[in-house]
Structure 1
């Protein structure tokens, strides 16, 4: 439990540093120096205010985006508008994100959090070490064309030569674009069998002359039954986690 609290605090500091670098707020002053120069009251107020960056960084730096979009699209493919509820989808997405990002969290914990707690490295070095696993994960999942498109939008003349030259202000939007594209591709594949069921049910009802019967009233229980019989939730979630390998 204590370790989790420390990791959340470190992730918050990492989020502040990434956001500041992305906006050009920190250039010559290290994060540790900036924090040490603030009064205790300002530190408390700033930390409470900047805690809102943690959910943003969760979306921007982890597998959460792809997972929550696919699960939401799956709900629509089944024809269920509010079942499962949004809170269930988000909670399941959070835990699947934790499973997916466990190797990244472990590397950040080993290279940054533990040495910092033992006072072996400074805060700025801990943030730098902790950023590397996230950057490697994001680069692995980012499509080259999306990254080049972001560089073009930013007016950059050439792509970075090494991973160390890649900045988060370019990597984060490219990563999110890639995640959106991948999520929609997965959702399209999921939609196909449910669409076929809708078409078959509609054709059967039309051939029987049952025009006044809404096809969704017949197709919905069939889709739910088939999805449960094939253990669909386990298949989808397992495939989602495996898609990040």
Structure 2
């Protein structure tokens, strides 16, 4: 499932390509009420956590949640528009965009959008995000901090990669109860998370390895993985930790794979 930085990149891209201009919107698949927004001016696109919003007006906001299988296809015009299972198609002056396989694609009004957002925790990529809200929710729980960081009602936009890498970078045992996470440590983790996710928006991939542990410094081979980016523990099961050499461990927590170093995160 795409993490928050991907949705923020999409919001920037769609605002650039379609913003402040009329957009032709259709649903070749017939499973989305495209006629409500077809031909209207897209005011802006914005993201909150893993949710993308195309704002056409207070009465018409297209809400997209990609889920595990949703993808956007972006192409310049002119071209022959493809056929297939397309949930939403946008055609502008210079580009077209197809959305396939999302978990959600629906039209909301402002009140409905606010209700949805009220169920989410702060998004580190939003400038008005309040880290104390997430901390309060974390420290009220006995659950492992690794599980809480994946709860969108606690923290919006963080997925499996950022979760694993953030805990490693701060030497936090994934099974530490949320109520035992210190305030100073959380403030450091939040600041680091903001920096990492902003870098993800700029680069379009997740890089979490500090300069001194990069391949060009250590002489190791660069990471080869469809997710891209240099990471410490994510999907590095049984490989040596880049810091201490201990084999990276993997287990399942809340139906998701969890990666950590048993030495650096003792």
Query: TM-score when scaled to structure 2?
Result: 0.26
Bigger Rg, which one: 1
The structure carrying a bigger helix percent of its residues is 1
The answer to which structure, 1 or 2, has the higher relative contact order (CA under 8 A, 6+ apart) is 1
The structure carrying a bigger strand percent of its residues is 2
Query: TM-score when scaled to structure 1?
Result: 0.28
